[in-house]
Amino acid sequence: ELFHFCFWLARTYGRKELASLLAEAGFEDQEFLFSFPDYKLPSIILREAALAPGGPDLKNLIVPATDHPQFKSYYPTFSPERTWQEVIDNGLTADFANSFLVVASAESVEKLLPADHLGYIYSSNRHPAFRKGNVFVKKADGVYVERILINKEYPAPADFLLKQELVTEKYISGKIMFIEFLELITKPGWSVSDIVAWAKPWVDHVRALASDDQLIPGNYLDLTPMNLLVMPDGTTRHFDQEWVAREKLPLWYVLYRGLYFCFSRPLYFHVPKQGSALHAFQLINEIIGHFITTEADLSEGFKKLEHKYLSPVSLTPDYIPVDFKINLWQPTKEADEARADLRTTEAQLEQSRRLIDEARQLNEEVRKINIQQSQEIARLKAEEQRAIELDAENSRLRSDVEWFSNTYEKRGVFGVIKTKLRNFLKRAYLVILNFLVKLGFVQKRYVFKYMLEYTRDNGLGTAMRNVRSSVKEHGFGAVTNARKYALEAMSREASANAPVPVAVVEEDLYPESKMREDIEAFTMKPLFSIIMPTYNTKPSLLKMAIESVQNQFYTNWELCIVDDGSKSDETKKYLKEYPADTRIKIVFQAANGGISAASNEAIKISTGEYLALFDHDDELSPDALYWMAKEINEHPEAEIIYTDECKKNEAGDKSDYFLKPDWSPQLMLNMMYVGHFTVYHREFLLEKVGMFRSEYDFSQDYDLMLRATEQTTAIRHIPKVLYYWRQTEGSAAVGDKPFARQTNIRALEDAVRRRNIDGDVIELPTANRVKLRLSIKPFVSIIIPTDSYDNLTATI
C-alpha cells in the first residue's frame, strides 16, 4: 500500500528543503552534522568537511554504527553493513543519512564549532570516570585523533587495576578488521573455518607481541579486531590501546576477549552452515582451539579476568560476561500464510463450543465446592477464636493464683521471715565470694579465681558436686594440676556451645575441577614457603602433616622443615628417610634452640613470596593454598592473611570449630585469635617487622602478630576452615602448655608499652584483658527498675 501525504499530516523535509527553510528564516550560515546511529543517542557525529576527500575513512566510522535495530530490514538478504559501504563509495552519505543535526546561526557557525574539527566519536556507555570522546582534527600534515575525558570531575575507583591511556594519534588509513567480520557473518552459510581464516592475521599480530611463556604485555589488553587495521599491502597495525594492565596477561585471554566483543557486537547473524554452534562461548572455544592447544574451558577464566579488570568500567558494578545465543535473522512469513493460520473449519468451531459448555459445567461444580470450603473455614475460625478465649481465661486464673500466693503466703509472717532469711544468707554468700575474687593474690591465680566465680554463679552445691566428680575421675591430680582439668572442663563447656558449620552435600562444595580451572586463570601464582619447625614429633603425625601439604590442589609451594635437635631417634630417622621431593627442604639443628630459633632458620632457607606458618603435627585442608592464592589475586595489597580452623584428634574426628571474625585489633589485645592458618608477605615481614623472638617462645606467634599489626592494616580473613589443629597429649590444642601463659602475657605487656597504652594487662583463664587507666573518672548513674525492696537490696 502507498501512504499519501495530505496537507493536514506532518511532513518530512529532506536536507536541501530544510536548508532552504532555515535560510528564509534568517539563518543564512548553517552546517549539517550527520549523526549515527541517529540524532537521539548518537555515538558518532560527522561534519560536512569529514565527507570531503582527505578526511577519515568513513567506512571505518559509519559501518560499525549501522548495526542498530532501526537499520534492520525485514528481509534477511538485505545487509545494511554492506549496503552502507556502497553508499559511501558512491558519495551518497549525506543524502542517505538516517538523521542529522543542524547548527544554524545568523552570524557564523565557526564561532560555535572549531574550523579544524571533522567529527566526534563518543564512548559514554560506561562509568562516568572513564567516559571518553575522540575528536578528529585536521592539521597541515594530516588528520589526528585527539582522545579526551568527558567527565573529568569523576575520580576513578581506588581499587581499579588498569590504567586508562588517552593519547593523540595520527589517523591511519586502512580497513578495520571488525568490518571484515561483519561482512563474513552477514553472508549465508558462513562457518567456523571461515572465521578462523579471517582471524589468523589478527592472531599472528598478537602472537608476535607475546613472549615464549604465552604472556603478552599488559598494554595490549585492548588489542581486539576493533582496534586493528588491515593496510593496503596486507600488513596489520594496531591503534587506540586505551586500557593498560600492570602485569602481563595470558595470550588466550586477549584472544578470547577480542572474539567475545566481535560476537557480542552484531545484532543479527545470517544463518551459518548447518550443524554450526549457535552459542558464543562454544563458538569462541572452537575458534581458539585452532590456534591454542588446551583441554580447559577457557570461558570461566575469561569471565573472571574480565570481571577483575573491567567491572569498574561498566555501568553494572558486578559486570561479568555472559554466554548468549547469536541472533539469526530469519525471513518473516508472508501475510497470506499468517491469514491461513488463522482460518478455522466449521468442525473446529463446533468442537470449541462443546468444550465451552463443558467448561461452564465444571465452573459450576467448582463454585459449589468453594461455597462448602468457605463454610468449613468459617467454622474452624470460630473454634480457633474459642481456643484463644480459653487460653486467655487460663492465663487470668494463673495470674490470680500467683497474686494470691505473693499476697497471702509469701507476705504472711512465716513467709516474710523465710524470704528475709534467705535473702540475707544469699547476700552474705555473695559478699564473701566477691571479696575473695577481688583479692590481689587471686587475680594472679586465675584458676582459683575461675573456681570462685563458678561457685558464685552456679551455687556451692553444684560446685562441690563437680569437684567430687573431678577427683573421682582424675584422683588428687584434679587438685594438684587444677589448671589442666579446669581448662578441659571450660573447653568442653565452650565446645558444647560452639557453632558448628552446617553440613553440606557433595554438590554444594566448590569442586576440585573448578579450582584447577581457577588456578590456570590466576594472573599471580605466588610461591608459598611453608615454615614447619619440628621437635620429637611422632612419625605418624609428621606423615599426616607433610602429606597434607603434598596433597594441595595449588602446587606452587615449598615446605621448609627444621628439626630443632630432636632427641627422638624415630623422628630424625623418619625425616632423613623421607622420599625425595624437590619442594621439601629439611635441615637438622645440632642442639635444641627453641621454636623461635628453628622457625627463623626455616625462614632463612625459604625463597617464597609468602611465608605460611605451620605446626609439625597439624594438617591443612587440600584447598588451603588455593584459597590463599585466590585471595592474593583478588587483594594483592594484602600483607597478612588468616583463616578459620578446628581441632582434630588422632582418629580424625573434628571438633571445636573456631569461626573467626574479620580483622579486629581490639580482640587481638585479648587473645591470639588469628591463630592458624596465617600467611605473611615475605618482604613486609622481613623489612618492616622482623622474625621470631626466642624470649617469647610458645607465644612467639602472638608476639609476631602484635608487632606485625602495628605496621599494617592490609589484613585479610578467609572465612573457611582450612586448618586442623591436632589434639594430642602434650599439644597446645588441649591446653597442656601452662608456661605459654607467661610468655603470652609478656608479649602483650610488651605491645602495650610499645603502643604507649596507659593500662594494665590482666590475665584471665583463657584470654587476657587490657584494663585502661582512666585519667578522667566521669560520674555514672545506674538505673535499676525493680518490683520490691528485697530484690533491690540483693541487686545493690
Asked whether residue 641 carries a pLDDT value surpassing 90, the answer given is yes
C-alpha angle with apex 385: 381 to 386, nearest 5 degrees?
120
Greatest mean pLDDT among 130-134, 266-270, 407-411, 528-532: 528-532
Predicted model pTM: 0.44
Q: Are 443 and 762 in contact (CB under 8 A)?
A: yes
- Enclosing H/E stretch for 768: strand 768-772
CB under 8 Å to 546, separation ≥6 — which residues?
559, 561, 578, 584
Asked whether residue 156 carries a pLDDT value surpassing 50, the answer given is yes
Asked whether residue 141 carries a pLDDT value surpassing 70, the answer given is yes
Q: Are 197 and 180 in contact (CB under 8 A)?
A: no
Architecture of domain 520-757: Alpha-Beta Complex (3.90)
Residue predicted with more confidence, 701 or 427 = 701
Phi-psi region of 142 (alpha: psi -120 to 50; beta: other; left: phi over 0): left
Burial label for 732, CB within 10 Å (0-12, 13-18, 19+), is: middle
Q: Are 289 and 256 in contact (CB under 8 A)?
A: no
Asked whether residue 461 carries a pLDDT value surpassing 80, the answer given is no
- List the grid coordinates of 618: 597439624
Long-range Cβ contacts of 477-482 (<8 Å, 24+ apart)? 482/447, 482/448, 482/451
Q: How far apart are CA 660 and CA 674, in angstroms?
A: 8
Q: Are 181 and 154 in contact (CB under 8 A)?
A: no
How high is the pLDDT of residue 703?
Answer: 96
C-alpha angle with apex 686: 682 to 688, nearest 5 degrees?
110
Residue type, 28: E
Q: How far apart are CA 429 and CA 434, in angstroms?
A: 9
How high is the pLDDT of residue 114?
Answer: 84
- Enclosing H/E stretch for 495: helix 482-497
Q: Are 118 and 55 in contact (CB under 8 A)?
A: yes
How high is the pLDDT of residue 573?
Answer: 94
- Nearest C-alpha neighbor of 728 from the set 652, 620, 630: 652
Q: How far apart are CA 764 and CA 767, in angstroms?
A: 5
- List the grid coordinates of 157: 575507583
Place of cell 497471702: 408
Residue predicted with more confidence, 3 or 639 = 639
How high is the pLDDT of residue 436?
Answer: 56
Q: How far apart are CA 605 and CA 682, in angstroms?
A: 13
Asked whether residue 650 carries a pLDDT value surpassing 50, the answer given is yes
Average of per-residue pLDDT across 68-79: 55
Q: Render pLDDT for 119-136 as a digit per residue (tens, 0 to 9).
A: 888 888 888 999 999 999
Reported in sequence order, the residue ranges of 42-88 that DSSP labels E, i.e. its strands, are 44-46
Asked whether residue 64 carries a pLDDT value surpassing 60, the answer given is yes
Q: Render pLDDT for 595-617 as a digit per residue (tens, 0 to 9).
A: 999 999 999 999 999 999 999 98
C-alpha angle with apex 766: 761 to 768, nearest 5 degrees?
15
Q: How far apart are CA 251 and CA 235, in angstroms?
A: 21
Confidence label for 634 from pLDDT (cuts 50, 70 and 90): very high
Asked whether residue 252 carries a pLDDT value surpassing 50, the answer given is yes
How high is the pLDDT of residue 333?
Answer: 43
Q: Render pLDDT for 742-796 as a digit per residue (tens, 0 to 9).
A: 889 999 999 999 999 999 998 876 788 898 888 888 899 999 888 776 677 767 7
Q: Which residues pair with 328 in a beta bridge?
A: 269
Q: Are 565 and 585 in contact (CB under 8 A)?
A: no
Confidence label for 628 from pLDDT (cuts 50, 70 and 90): very high
Of the listed ranges 181-185, 214-218, 406-410, 707-711, the least confidently predicted one is: 406-410
Q: What is the mean pLDDT of the chain?
A: 82
How high is the pLDDT of residue 501?
Answer: 56
For the CA atoms of 488, 493, 499, 501, the dihedral, rounded to the nearest 10 degrees, stands at 50
Asked whether residue 1 carries a pLDDT value surpassing 70, the answer given is no
The three-state secondary structure class of 245 is strand
Q: How far apart are CA 781 and CA 796, in angstroms?
A: 13
CB under 8 Å to 683, separation ≥6 — which residues?
609
Could you give the C-alpha distances from 725 to 65, 111, 296, 722, in angstroms and in order? 62, 77, 36, 10
Give the count of beta carbons closer than 10 Å to the beta carbon of residue 8: 5
CB under 8 Å to 73, separation ≥6 — which residues?
80
Q: Render pLDDT for 470-520 as a digit per residue (tens, 0 to 9).
A: 767 766 555 555 555 555 555 555 555 555 555 444 444 688 889 999 999
- Nearest C-alpha neighbor of 719 from the set 637, 627, 619: 627
Average of per-residue pLDDT across 134-139: 90
C-alpha angle with apex 385: 384 to 390, nearest 5 degrees?
95
Q: Are 135 and 117 in contact (CB under 8 A)?
A: yes
- Enclosing H/E stretch for 368: helix 346-404
Greatest mean pLDDT among 55-59, 182-186, 342-346, 749-753: 749-753
Burial label for 15, CB within 10 Å (0-12, 13-18, 19+), is: middle
Q: How far apart are CA 180 and CA 201, in angstroms?
A: 12
Confidence label for 101 from pLDDT (cuts 50, 70 and 90): confident
Residue predicted with more confidence, 57 or 210 = 210
How high is the pLDDT of residue 654?
Answer: 87
Q: How far apart are CA 546 and CA 542, in angstroms?
A: 6
Rg (CA), the chain: 40
How high is the pLDDT of residue 439?
Answer: 56
How high is the pLDDT of residue 339?
Answer: 44
Q: How far apart are CA 584 and CA 558, in angstroms?
A: 6
- Taken as a whole, the chain contains a residue count of 796
Q: Are 313 and 126 in contact (CB under 8 A)?
A: yes
CA atoms within 13 A on the CB side of 611: 26
Q: Render pLDDT for 286-317 as a digit per residue (tens, 0 to 9).
A: 999 999 887 778 999 999 999 999 988 888 87
